[in-house]
Structure 1
Amino acid sequence: MTKNITTQIIINTPPEKVWNTLVNTDSYSLWNPFIKKIEGVFKIGNTITVTIQKNKSSKMVFKPIILNYVKNELLIWKGKLLFKGIFDGEHFFKLIDNNNGTCTFIHGEIFSGFLIKYFDLSNTKQGFELMNNALKVYCEQKA
């Protein structure tokens, strides 16, 4: 069983500027209301440490592996709860150049595992949307 969340937003800056904001994880505290911290190097096969927290909810820390990294276009990581197959998530950021000085930011996750049927992912989707909107505002103000 799988559950998918896909969100998207048009950002009125070129994809390179949005990408630079996404990979500059030291700046997340300035703009990101959902992913509070990322530690590690974005390189295929590397493990990173991701801390998420929406509003006053409890922090969640996990250590996903980078599956794909294409500069200015795509970042995918996959994490798991305890063991593979229990509750796994393949998180992605994708940038599409609209060839007019703007880009479309697609942000989502594919969840799988036998516990997925017990999880309500509505808060996760809200967190993605909060992040998307904050990314848009931050990038457009810097443009």
Structure 2
Amino acid sequence: MYQIETGIEITASPEHVWSILMDFPAYPQWNPFIRSLSGVAKPGEKLRATIQPEKRRAMTFRPRVLTATDQQELRWLGRLGFPGLFDGQHYFQLAALSNGYTRFTQGEQFSGILVGMFISSMAAATKAGFHAMNQALKNRAEANDHIGHAHDDISKEWY
């Protein structure tokens, strides 16, 4: 198994950040990594996702939703071919901070017999795509934040 995880603190409430993540039709307007996302965020349902890491071709796949916990986590499982070949469990997690802000974590756990062959060529672009999306989500959430806090520039991002 191979895992990539990134995160960022967002000066907005988890409720507001979640509302942006769940507004799938708006993804093309703001998301530089997940260029489109459609379907119902409900366990067992299939989504249609198109991702495009910078300087890479777009890829469309149909992941199955594993978890959709309001204002906490959206997790799906995408597969290449059959189970165990190349699987990716992607997740978005939100944690409320004591100041009313949100810690947003995005990651993916890769598993399967082909991971070793492909991960070295895709890890850097995938991680860069996560960082780009995290920053774009932060920018969008803070542009129309409903908490009413003065915005300190807390551009804390971690790996």
If the length of structure 2 is used for normalisation, what is the TM-score? 0.87
**In the aligned structure 2, how far is the partner of 1:125 from the partner of 1:46?**
26
Structure 2 equivalent of residue 97 of structure 1: 96
**In the aligned structure 2, how far is the partner of 1:110 from the partner of 1:10?**
22
**In the aligned structure 1, how far is the partner of 2:96 from the partner of 2:90?**
20
1:135 aligned onto 2:137? yes
Superposed CA deviations along residues 66-113 of structure 1, whole A, max 9, x for unmatched, are: 001100000100010011111000000000000212110000000000
Residue type at the aligned position of 1:127: G
Structure 1 equivalent of residue 150 of structure 2: none
Q: Secondary structure at the match of 1:90?
A: strand
Deviation >3 Å, runs of 4+: none
**In the aligned structure 2, how far is the partner of 1:142 from the partner of 1:25?**
18
1:44 aligned onto 2:53? no
**In the aligned structure 2, how far is the partner of 1:30 from the partner of 1:37?**
9
Structure 2 equivalent of residue 122 of structure 1: 124
**In the aligned structure 1, how far is the partner of 2:55 from the partner of 2:48?**
20
Q: Secondary structure at the match of 1:83?
A: coil
Q: Secondary structure at the match of 1:108?
A: strand
Structure 1 equivalent of residue 78 of structure 2: 79
| Cα contact 2:50–2:60 (8 A) shared by 1 | yes
Identity %: 42
Structure with greater Cα Rg:
2
Superposed CA deviations along residues 8-31 of structure 1, whole A, max 9, x for unmatched, are: 100000000000000001111121
Deviation at 1:115, TM superposition (A): 0.6
Deviation at 1:138, TM superposition (A): 0.8
**In the aligned structure 2, how far is the partner of 1:34 from the partner of 1:113?**
23
Q: Secondary structure at the match of 1:117?
A: helix
| Cα contact 2:54–2:125 (8 A) shared by 1 | no
Structure 1 vs Structure 2 CA RMSD: 0.8
User: How many residues end up aligned between the 2 structures?
Assistant: 142
Q: Secondary structure at the match of 2:43?
A: coil
